[in-house]
Structure 1
């Protein structure tokens, strides 16, 4: 079942994040991921989360595909660029739903 990875963060070190951004699209695709959306923060409408400047939404074929990307030893030198190039990182996984019925079932 597909999962979505919501990435919200601020760029802390441009050069470090660029080093990640140059290699990550191919690595993500090789592990069954697809970038669905890229965004730049516009405004806070409601909610109590501190805004982050960048949004990246990635669709993964499965949780296993996501885990294979995170744990691939050949990418051990890639992930530190993301970590060192960003700040205030939020990385949440969401299961794909075709509609909201599973969330709205009465128990």
Structure 2
């Protein structure tokens, strides 16, 4: 992984299983507006269709969020006004995978690193 200054768009990949429907609903009812307020936008929602290949255990749900920056993402996580919100996500989900990805226009920057 590389160091970043927290600026520029990032994508948060969320993969998880539902553990408690009511708890996750309590999170979902508020999270969309709060994500937007903090500079995030849900790009995709998905339900697992099929495991084709992979090194991680399958998860039921995919949510892909585009954030204005890593700083915006961290602001969402660390906002004291949301201290009562995040526990609903934790209790409502299981086997959570949350990864941040830098936005790329194409794969050349990655391929250049591999070729070096």
**Match of 2:60?**
53
Instruction: Give me the whole-angstrom Cα distance separating, in 1, the residues matched to 2:55 and 2:65.
Output: 24
The number of aligned residues is: 107
Alignment of 1:1-107 (within 5 A): 1-105=8-112, 106-107=115-116
RMSD after superposition: 0.5
- Structure 1 runs (4+) deviating above 6 angstroms are none
**Match of 2:3?**
none
Instruction: Give me the whole-angstrom Cα distance separating, in 1, the residues matched to 2:56 and 2:71.
Output: 28
Instruction: Give me the whole-angstrom Cα distance separating, in 2, the residues matched to 1:42 and 1:93.
Output: 23
Quote the offset at 1:48 in angstroms: 2.1
* Paired residue secondary structure (1:74): helix
TM-score norm. by structure 1 comes to 0.98
Structure 1: tracts of 5 or more residues without a match:
none
TM-score norm. by structure 2 comes to 0.91
Quote the offset at 1:47 in angstroms: 1.3
Instruction: Give me the whole-angstrom Cα distance separating, in 1, the residues matched to 2:106 and 2:55.
Output: 26
Deviates more, 1:42-51 or 1:4-13: 42-51
